[in-house]
Amino acid sequence: MNADKIPDIIIGRLPVYLRALQRLADKGVLTTSSQELGEMIGISAAQIRKDISQFGEFGKQGTGYSIPFLVDRLRAILKVDRVWDVAIVGMGDMGHALARYNGFTNRGFHVLMVFDNDPAKVGIKVGEFEIFSTAVMAEKLKQQKIKMAVLTTPASAAQEMADQLVKAGVKAILNYAPISINVPDDVHVQYIDPVTHLQRMTYYL
Protein backbone atom coordinates (compact mmCIF):
# COMPACT_ATOMS: atom_id res chain seq x y z
CA MET A 1 0.00 0.00 0.00
CA ASN A 2 1.48 3.24 -1.16
CA ALA A 3 -0.81 5.77 0.48
CA ASP A 4 1.60 8.63 -0.19
CA LYS A 5 -0.62 10.68 -2.37
CA ILE A 6 -3.04 9.10 -4.79
CA PRO A 7 -3.80 11.30 -7.81
CA ASP A 8 -7.35 12.59 -7.95
CA ILE A 9 -7.78 11.20 -11.43
CA ILE A 10 -7.40 7.70 -10.02
CA ILE A 11 -9.83 8.40 -7.18
CA GLY A 12 -12.30 9.53 -9.82
CA ARG A 13 -12.16 6.18 -11.59
CA LEU A 14 -12.61 4.04 -8.49
CA PRO A 15 -16.36 4.72 -8.18
CA VAL A 16 -16.76 3.57 -11.78
CA TYR A 17 -14.91 0.34 -11.04
CA LEU A 18 -16.97 -0.12 -7.91
CA ARG A 19 -20.23 0.41 -9.74
CA ALA A 20 -19.37 -2.21 -12.35
CA LEU A 21 -18.09 -4.68 -9.75
CA GLN A 22 -21.23 -4.35 -7.64
CA ARG A 23 -23.26 -5.01 -10.75
CA LEU A 24 -21.29 -8.23 -11.35
CA ALA A 25 -21.66 -9.17 -7.69
CA ASP A 26 -25.43 -8.72 -7.93
CA LYS A 27 -25.43 -11.19 -10.79
CA GLY A 28 -23.59 -13.66 -8.57
CA VAL A 29 -20.24 -13.49 -10.38
CA LEU A 30 -17.37 -14.17 -7.97
CA THR A 31 -14.22 -13.25 -9.89
CA THR A 32 -13.24 -11.02 -12.77
CA SER A 33 -10.11 -9.85 -14.56
CA SER A 34 -8.81 -6.41 -15.42
CA GLN A 35 -9.46 -7.37 -19.03
CA GLU A 36 -13.14 -8.20 -18.50
CA LEU A 37 -13.74 -5.19 -16.26
CA GLY A 38 -12.04 -2.94 -18.77
CA GLU A 39 -14.30 -4.11 -21.56
CA MET A 40 -17.37 -3.46 -19.42
CA ILE A 41 -16.47 0.14 -18.69
CA GLY A 42 -14.26 1.13 -21.61
CA ILE A 43 -10.96 1.54 -19.76
CA SER A 44 -7.72 -0.28 -20.61
CA ALA A 45 -6.88 -3.34 -18.54
CA ALA A 46 -3.40 -2.01 -17.73
CA GLN A 47 -4.85 1.18 -16.32
CA ILE A 48 -7.27 -0.68 -14.09
CA ARG A 49 -4.48 -2.91 -12.78
CA LYS A 50 -2.24 0.06 -12.13
CA ASP A 51 -4.97 2.03 -10.38
CA ILE A 52 -5.92 -0.84 -8.11
CA SER A 53 -2.31 -1.74 -7.33
CA GLN A 54 -1.85 1.72 -5.78
CA PHE A 55 -3.71 0.42 -2.76
CA GLY A 56 -2.31 -3.09 -2.40
CA GLU A 57 -2.01 -6.42 -4.17
CA PHE A 58 -5.64 -7.38 -4.41
CA GLY A 59 -5.47 -9.72 -7.40
CA LYS A 60 -4.06 -13.14 -8.07
CA GLN A 61 -2.13 -14.13 -11.18
CA GLY A 62 -3.97 -16.53 -13.41
CA THR A 63 -7.29 -15.89 -11.65
CA GLY A 64 -7.90 -12.19 -11.48
CA TYR A 65 -9.73 -10.43 -8.67
CA SER A 66 -12.21 -11.77 -6.13
CA ILE A 67 -15.21 -9.52 -6.64
CA PRO A 68 -16.53 -9.53 -3.05
CA PHE A 69 -13.04 -8.84 -1.75
CA LEU A 70 -12.32 -6.06 -4.24
CA VAL A 71 -15.71 -4.46 -3.62
CA ASP A 72 -14.94 -4.42 0.10
CA ARG A 73 -11.54 -2.89 -0.45
CA LEU A 74 -12.84 -0.19 -2.80
CA ARG A 75 -15.67 0.67 -0.44
CA ALA A 76 -13.17 1.06 2.38
CA ILE A 77 -10.79 3.15 0.28
CA LEU A 78 -13.59 5.46 -0.85
CA LYS A 79 -15.01 5.51 2.69
CA VAL A 80 -18.40 4.29 1.51
CA ASP A 81 -18.24 1.26 3.79
CA ARG A 82 -20.39 3.47 6.01
CA VAL A 83 -23.48 5.63 5.32
CA TRP A 84 -23.11 9.38 4.81
CA ASP A 85 -26.04 11.64 5.60
CA VAL A 86 -26.75 14.14 2.85
CA ALA A 87 -28.91 17.27 2.70
CA ILE A 88 -30.60 18.57 -0.44
CA VAL A 89 -30.91 22.33 -0.84
CA GLY A 90 -33.50 23.58 -3.33
CA MET A 91 -36.77 21.73 -3.81
CA GLY A 92 -37.52 22.43 -7.45
CA ASP A 93 -38.08 19.62 -9.92
CA MET A 94 -34.50 18.41 -9.62
CA GLY A 95 -34.52 18.49 -5.84
CA HIS A 96 -37.79 16.55 -5.84
CA ALA A 97 -36.41 13.94 -8.22
CA LEU A 98 -33.32 13.44 -6.08
CA ALA A 99 -35.29 13.35 -2.83
CA ARG A 100 -37.37 10.52 -4.28
CA TYR A 101 -34.41 8.69 -5.86
CA ASN A 102 -33.80 5.30 -4.29
CA GLY A 103 -30.37 4.81 -5.85
CA PHE A 104 -28.45 6.28 -2.90
CA THR A 105 -29.24 3.32 -0.68
CA ASN A 106 -26.56 0.62 -0.63
CA ARG A 107 -24.06 2.90 -2.27
CA GLY A 108 -23.08 4.80 0.86
CA PHE A 109 -25.52 7.70 1.09
CA HIS A 110 -28.78 8.61 2.79
CA VAL A 111 -30.77 11.77 2.22
CA LEU A 112 -31.61 13.03 5.69
CA MET A 113 -33.13 16.48 5.14
CA VAL A 114 -34.27 18.83 2.41
CA PHE A 115 -34.40 22.64 2.40
CA ASP A 116 -35.85 25.47 0.37
CA ASN A 117 -35.80 29.23 0.86
CA ASP A 118 -39.31 29.74 -0.51
CA PRO A 119 -41.73 30.24 2.44
CA ALA A 120 -44.51 28.81 0.29
CA LYS A 121 -42.69 25.47 0.12
CA VAL A 122 -41.60 25.24 3.75
CA GLY A 123 -43.61 22.63 5.64
CA ILE A 124 -44.76 20.78 2.54
CA LYS A 125 -44.01 17.07 2.43
CA VAL A 126 -41.86 15.57 -0.32
CA GLY A 127 -42.06 11.82 0.02
CA GLU A 128 -40.92 11.14 3.55
CA PHE A 129 -39.33 14.58 3.97
CA GLU A 130 -40.74 17.80 5.31
CA ILE A 131 -39.20 20.80 3.59
CA PHE A 132 -37.35 23.00 6.09
CA SER A 133 -36.57 26.68 5.68
CA THR A 134 -33.01 27.57 4.76
CA ALA A 135 -33.22 29.96 7.71
CA VAL A 136 -32.80 26.98 10.04
CA MET A 137 -30.41 25.13 7.73
CA ALA A 138 -27.08 25.90 9.43
CA GLU A 139 -28.49 24.95 12.81
CA LYS A 140 -29.90 21.63 11.62
CA LEU A 141 -26.84 20.68 9.60
CA LYS A 142 -24.55 21.27 12.57
CA GLN A 143 -26.88 19.38 14.86
CA GLN A 144 -26.78 16.33 12.61
CA LYS A 145 -23.09 16.83 11.74
CA ILE A 146 -23.90 16.67 8.04
CA LYS A 147 -20.79 16.93 5.85
CA MET A 148 -22.28 16.53 2.37
CA ALA A 149 -24.95 18.46 0.49
CA VAL A 150 -26.56 18.49 -2.92
CA LEU A 151 -27.24 21.95 -4.29
CA THR A 152 -30.26 22.12 -6.62
CA THR A 153 -31.18 25.78 -6.48
CA PRO A 154 -31.30 28.19 -9.44
CA ALA A 155 -27.93 29.70 -10.32
CA SER A 156 -28.94 32.98 -8.69
CA ALA A 157 -29.12 31.41 -5.22
CA ALA A 158 -26.27 28.91 -5.49
CA GLN A 159 -23.36 30.97 -4.15
CA GLU A 160 -25.30 32.22 -1.17
CA MET A 161 -26.50 28.73 -0.29
CA ALA A 162 -22.97 27.37 -0.76
CA ASP A 163 -21.67 30.00 1.66
CA GLN A 164 -24.24 28.93 4.24
CA LEU A 165 -23.37 25.27 3.74
CA VAL A 166 -19.68 26.00 4.25
CA LYS A 167 -20.40 27.98 7.40
CA ALA A 168 -22.43 25.06 8.71
CA GLY A 169 -19.45 22.73 8.31
CA VAL A 170 -20.30 20.99 5.04
CA LYS A 171 -17.14 19.74 3.31
CA ALA A 172 -18.50 18.30 0.05
CA ILE A 173 -21.03 19.84 -2.31
CA LEU A 174 -22.60 18.25 -5.36
CA ASN A 175 -23.65 21.26 -7.39
CA TYR A 176 -26.51 20.92 -9.89
CA ALA A 177 -26.82 24.69 -10.30
CA PRO A 178 -25.41 25.89 -13.64
CA ILE A 179 -22.74 28.12 -12.13
CA SER A 180 -19.24 27.80 -10.70
CA ILE A 181 -19.17 28.38 -6.97
CA ASN A 182 -16.34 29.63 -4.78
CA VAL A 183 -15.57 27.70 -1.61
CA PRO A 184 -12.53 27.35 0.68
CA ASP A 185 -9.80 24.90 -0.33
CA ASP A 186 -10.90 22.26 2.15
CA VAL A 187 -14.39 22.04 0.66
CA HIS A 188 -14.85 19.76 -2.35
CA VAL A 189 -17.24 20.48 -5.18
CA GLN A 190 -18.46 18.29 -8.02
CA TYR A 191 -20.48 19.79 -10.86
CA ILE A 192 -23.47 18.34 -12.66
CA ASP A 193 -24.80 20.59 -15.39
CA PRO A 194 -26.48 18.75 -18.25
CA VAL A 195 -25.82 21.63 -20.61
CA THR A 196 -22.05 21.73 -20.10
CA HIS A 197 -22.01 17.97 -20.56
CA LEU A 198 -23.96 18.26 -23.81
CA GLN A 199 -21.78 21.15 -25.01
CA ARG A 200 -18.73 19.02 -24.49
CA MET A 201 -20.09 16.56 -27.05
CA THR A 202 -21.40 18.91 -29.72
CA TYR A 203 -17.83 19.89 -30.61
CA TYR A 204 -17.35 16.41 -32.08
CA LEU A 205 -20.63 16.19 -34.00
Partner DNA sequence: GGCTGTTTGTGTAAGTTTGTACAAAAAATC
Partner DNA sequence: GATTTTTTGTACAAACTTACACAAACAGCC
Binding site for its own copies (CB under 8 A): 11-12, 14-16, 18-20, 23, 40-42, 77-80, 84, 86, 93-94, 96-98, 100-101, 103-104, 107-109, 147-148, 150, 155, 171-172, 174, 178-180, 182, 188, 190, 192-205
CB of 175 to DNA, least distance (A): 20
Pairwise CA distance, residues 155 & 180, whole Å:
9
Please pick, from the candidates 46, 76, 124, 135, the single residue that binds DNA as defined by CB under 7 A: 46
Quick check: 85 and 148 in contact, CB under 8 A? Answer: yes
CB of 103 to its own copies, least distance (A): 6
Pairwise CA distance, residues 93 & 151, whole Å:
12
Which of 13, 15, 35 shows the shortest CA–CA distance to 23?
Answer: 15
- Binding at 45: pick from DNA, its own copies, none (beta carbon under 5-8 Å per type): DNA
CB of 122 to its own copies, least distance (A): 21
CB of 8 to its own copies, least distance (A): 8
Query: Closest CB to DNA among 47 and 182?
Result: 47
Pairwise CA distance, residues 19 & 22, whole Å:
5
Quick check: 89 and 152 in contact, CB under 8 A? Answer: yes
Strand order in the sheet with 125-126: 125-126, 129-133, 109-116, 84-89, 148-151, 172-175, 188-191
Binding marks (x or -) toward DNA, 23..42, rule CB under 7 A? Answer: ----------xxx-------
* Binding of DNA by 62 (CB under 7 A): yes
Query: Closest CB to DNA among 33 and 159?
Result: 33
Looking at the DSSP assignment, which residues form a beta bridge with residue 150? 88, 174
Which of 184, 181, 131, 191 shows the shortest CA–CA distance to 158?
Answer: 181
Query: Closest CB to DNA among 9 and 120?
Result: 9
Binding site for DNA (CB under 7 A): 7-10, 33-35, 44-47, 49-50, 52-53, 57-65
